[in-house]
Structure 1
Amino acid sequence: MKIKILLYPLCMALLLSSCHIYKQYSRPEVDTQGLYRDPVSTTDTLVSDTSNMANLPWEQVFTDPDLQALIRLGLERNTDLQAALLRVKEAQASLMTSRLSYLPSLSLAPQGGVSSFDKSHGSWSWSLPVVGSWEIDLFGKILNTKRAAKAALLQSEAYQQAVQTQVVAAIANYYYMLLMLDKQLEITEETSVLWKKNVETMRAMKEAAMVNEAGVVQSEANYYMVLASMADLKNQIRETENSLSLLLRQAPQKIARGRIEDQQLPTVLQAGVPIQLLGNRPDVKVAEMALAGTYYNTNEARAAFYPQITINGTYGWTNQAGNLITNPGKMIASVIGSLTQPLFYRGANIARLKIAKAQQQEALLSFEQAILNAGSEVSNALNLYQTAQDKIVQREKQIESLEKSVEYTQELLTLGTSTYLEVLTAQQSLLSAQLSGIADEFQRMQAVVNLYHALGGGVK
């Protein structure tokens, strides 16, 4: 009776002290206020609402049929995405293993042998037992292992989603880059035709003694410069097609595509509110599930300080009863309960708990940094879009002025009041501005892709 009186308070103390071990992970307080910078406001305060373009399926953002076909192919074949899906299957198997830890472990352990004493006739002994062992999870060791495995599964699923969003964004960026290069090549080819005619004009003017030989060779040099730039553009197109083919896990080949003038992307960019990043950004989910995993690992390390209760049992048949051999065999059954309290491993358990706590703090820092990185990427994409918009407006004015400049200088050269250098300079400036204008348009398209990706779009 006295023993029961002593054991009861001890058991109650152990149960109360282990309550924290059973607590579920809860997200720590995170401050997302002001995570997005406004690209136009001087106060950096972005006026947002709950509308978020990340909630749109990628088919509604990228409406080009050729691009949609490429994205579907990438989602089916991309190597990194397929590897991420295999990681999910690995995590599912690991979770199944941890769940099975709640069940008793059973094993069949047949034994047999022949023994003889003092050259007597040998006697055959055998046993056919089923051995079972069952650990009672009184202090949450198996529970936290299972929860950590579940967090690892959610982490692998979030990683797979992160790879998927990256694949969608990368394919779109490569596609729009090809459209930009196609348009730049088209403009350059048209310019080469005009500049070839300009060389012929300069030669005719030399025959008429209106310009000298220097003007002719300078115009020829400009013409050859354009031809050389066409070769560079064709090489860039080929390399971009090869890179996109690699992303699609196929041999390098020509990519079917539309025209940059036909693209229709969202013109109103809705970033939503920063708190939505916690639910939409897969990489933020990866960081949070890593934090949850370390939380459960810490709880598991705490559980190592408490006793381990195990029930071992045997059930089967044998023909050996002590020193006697019986035939036929008889049934045997035994059940033994054991309680193991760690004594000499206390120092190792303390070190393990310290390591687990430190890893949990590291995971918390990574989670907070992932949120800051997400906010920075959204802010950068918003600013890139606004910058491209401003540049496009000014570039259109620049091109319009340069077109007039080329026209005026050519007329003045014909009248003899201008030099061929002024004409060539105006033509070079116009070509450069036209190519830059196409790059500005690509930058705006890239900003839409980057913002969609930064907000966590592309999963649906």
Structure 2
Amino acid sequence: MKKQIITLTVAALTLSSCGIYTKYKPATEVPINLYGEEVVVTDTLDNMGNLSWREVFTDPQLQILIEKGLQNNTDLQSAQWRVKEAEATLLSAKLAYLPSFALSPQGTVSSFDKSKAMQTYTLPVTASWEIDIFGQIRNAKRQAKALLEQSRDYKQAVRTQLIAGIANTYYTLLMLDAQFEISVRTQHSWKETVDATRALMEAGMANEAAISQMEATYYTICTSVLDLKEQINQVENSLSLLLAETPHTIERADTWNFPYGMQERFSVGIPVQMLSNRPDVRSAERSLEAAFYVTNQARSAFYPSIVLSGSAGWTNSAGSMIVNPGKFIATAIGSLTQPLFNRGTNIARLKIAKAQQEEAKLGFQQTLLNAGSEVNEALVKYQTAKEKAAYYDKQIMSLNKAFESTSLLMQHGNTTYLEVLTAQQTLLSAQLNQVANRFAEIQGVINLYQALGGGRD
């Protein structure tokens, strides 16, 4: 008896060393300088990715739109159904541990040479139970669990992308509103300039060429106003699609409400923390985990499968006799199946599983690199736009003075209409660029929130 125990123990240890029972170990290391050399990381858990989206996006109108999107968006609903499918798959994998039962009634009517027909019946309940000694069912369950978590991560990724998409589209509308307002104001101002130049021409202080050039520029501004109206309509339609609604006018604020009031300082957290924050990183690791357990299943195929089966019920067929009423009958069978002639197939399956596991490992590593790059780009985008904002303020102040000065000089005949034209065109361009830079600054915050795995309630 002791020898048998020792033999079984040695066999179990041998099988364990072959990787049948090993569990996946989560990744704990990431590439050095994942966020880039210029980004200083911290070891605090209080980073932007942990904030609720309501803390980041405080604009009441934007919050209403995000809530609508989370409720109605079809991509997010599809992701929720994927989670339900994975939950059902995991439940099936768990039930594989239990024996299966089936009721298999049988009846026959037989007659030989026109003799009296004989009726026999059997009413058995059959049962079958595979004993999971070599880990096939266990690894299948772990694989299903990893795929369930991956589907949940996918749902969170869709949610994060949806929130960021709605916020970006909303602030795009605010940017276009501001540019439209500037263009309309410039249109009115330029109309006054055209009228003033025409009056100067009638007084003999300007020529027809000046009027023609002024009017041509005025018409160009008019067309740009119409272009902006069209762009606003297109962006509203895009946002309506995100909300799963028909095209309609989007209610929005009159002024810019900068997201995340503590934008002066961003805390991105240590790189390892992205493993628990970013859903796409978690999803990539779940793929690696699932591939790991598929490899374990491929190894298990080299070992025998043990199945216990049996049946119990009533029958009136007792060999050559028929007895009524029927008698109770029970059978029990144990079988062990060892693969012999399909070893080559099992070897091929193991090689395929190992190759797929290496592919999943590379995919996980690439996802990490992409995550670090996105954090870096979002931070640099925000910081660059913030630094440029002060220069735009000074530029516009100088251009306003230049336009006012050239306008006065032209009225007194000390300068040409071309200098006024250039000054106002340059001022308009700078004002539009200032608004676009403001949007880039806000977009940097939104992209950083998404890159750090934000989107929680």
- For the aligned pair, the TM-score class normalised by the smaller chain equals over 0.9
Partner of 1:201: 196
> Number of residues paired by the alignment?
452
Alpha-carbon displacement from aligned partner over 1:43-88 (angstroms, at most 9, x marks no partner): x352534131111100010000000000001001111100000000
Equivalent of residue 61 in structure 2, options 57, 63, 66: 66
Q: Report the alpha carbon displacement of residue 10 of structure 1 after superposing the two structures with TM.
A: 6.2
Inter-partner Cα distance in structure 1 for 2:43 and 2:190? 52
Note if contact 2:55-2:260 (Cα within 8 Å) is conserved in structure 1. no
Q: Does 1:253 align with 2:262?
A: no
Runs of 4+ in structure 1 deviating by more than 3 angstroms, as ranges, are 7-14, 260-266
Read off the aligned partner of 2:54 and give its amino acid letter.
Answer: E
Partner of 1:46: 40
Note if contact 1:71-1:171 (Cα within 8 Å) is conserved in structure 2. yes
Read off the aligned partner of 2:35 and give its amino acid letter.
Answer: Y
Alpha-carbon displacement from aligned partner over 1:154-178 (angstroms, at most 9, x marks no partner): 0000110000000000000000000
Note if contact 1:281-1:454 (Cα within 8 Å) is conserved in structure 2. yes
State the TM-score, normalized to the length of structure 2: 0.96
Deviates more, 1:50-59 or 1:10-19: 10-19
Q: Does 1:23 align with 2:22?
A: yes
Equivalent of residue 155 in structure 1, options 150, 158, 167: 150
Q: Does 1:35 align with 2:29?
A: no
Inter-partner Cα distance in structure 2 for 1:111 and 1:53? 67
Equivalent of residue 131 in structure 1, options 126, 129, 137: 126
Note if contact 2:287-2:360 (Cα within 8 Å) is conserved in structure 1. yes
Partner of 2:137: 142
Inter-partner Cα distance in structure 2 for 1:121 and 1:181? 95
Partner of 1:169: 164
Q: Report the alpha carbon displacement of residue 412 of structure 1 after superposing the two structures with TM.
A: 1.2
RMSD between aligned residues: 1.5
Note if contact 1:176-1:260 (Cα within 8 Å) is conserved in structure 2. no
Inter-partner Cα distance in structure 2 for 1:47 and 1:127? 74
Q: Secondary structure at the match of 2:280?
A: helix
Structure 1 residues 201 and 49 mapped into 2: Cα distance closer, same or farther (>3 Å)?
A: farther
Partner of 2:81: 86
Inter-partner Cα distance in structure 2 for 1:264 and 1:280? 20
Q: Secondary structure at the match of 1:128?
A: strand
Read off the aligned partner of 2:276 and give its amino acid letter.
Answer: G
Q: Report the alpha carbon displacement of residue 144 of structure 1 after superposing the two structures with TM.
A: 0.4
Note if contact 1:152-1:289 (Cα within 8 Å) is conserved in structure 2. yes
Alpha-carbon displacement from aligned partner over 1:351-393 (angstroms, at most 9, x marks no partner): 1111111111111111111111100000000000011012111
Q: Secondary structure at the match of 2:20?
A: helix
Note if contact 1:18-1:303 (Cα within 8 Å) is conserved in structure 2. no
Partner of 2:208: 213
Note if contact 1:21-1:139 (Cα within 8 Å) is conserved in structure 2. yes
Alpha-carbon displacement from aligned partner over 1:222-271 (angstroms, at most 9, x marks no partner): 11111100110000000000000001101011000003434453322221
Inter-partner Cα distance in structure 2 for 1:321 and 1:259? 91
Inter-partner Cα distance in structure 1 for 2:29 and 2:269? 17
Equivalent of residue 294 in structure 2, options 292, 297, 309: 297
Read off the aligned partner of 1:453 and give its amino acid letter.
Answer: Q
Partner of 2:332: 335
Note if contact 2:30-2:368 (Cα within 8 Å) is conserved in structure 1. no
Q: Does 1:272 align with 2:269?
A: yes
Partner of 1:433: 430
Inter-partner Cα distance in structure 2 for 1:123 and 1:209? 128
Q: Report the alpha carbon displacement of residue 99 of structure 1 after superposing the two structures with TM.
A: 0.4
Q: Secondary structure at the match of 1:329?
A: strand
Q: Report the alpha carbon displacement of residue 13 of structure 1 after superposing the two structures with TM.
A: 4.8
Q: Secondary structure at the match of 2:256?
A: helix
Partner of 1:183: 178
Unaligned runs of 5+ in 1: 39-43
Read off the aligned partner of 1:402 and give its amino acid letter.
Answer: L
Alpha-carbon displacement from aligned partner over 1:292-311 (angstroms, at most 9, x marks no partner): 00011111111111110000
Equivalent of residue 392 in structure 2, options 392, 395, 403: 395
Read off the aligned partner of 1:252 and give its amino acid letter.
Answer: P
Q: Report the alpha carbon displacement of residue 403 of structure 1 after superposing the two structures with TM.
A: 0.5
Structure 1 residues 255 and 330 mapped into 2: Cα distance closer, same or farther (>3 Å)?
A: same
Partner of 1:41: none
Q: Report the alpha carbon displacement of residue 17 of structure 1 after superposing the two structures with TM.
A: 2.3
Read off the aligned partner of 2:437 and give its amino acid letter.
Answer: D
Inter-partner Cα distance in structure 2 for 1:74 and 1:240? 15
Q: Does 1:243 align with 2:242?
A: no
Alpha-carbon displacement from aligned partner over 1:145-199 (angstroms, at most 9, x marks no partner): 0000000000000110000000000000000000000010001111111111111
Inter-partner Cα distance in structure 2 for 1:272 and 1:105? 50
Inter-partner Cα distance in structure 1 for 2:350 and 2:139? 14
Note if contact 1:57-1:457 (Cα within 8 Å) is conserved in structure 2. yes
Q: Report the alpha carbon displacement of residue 116 of structure 1 after superposing the two structures with TM.
A: 1.3
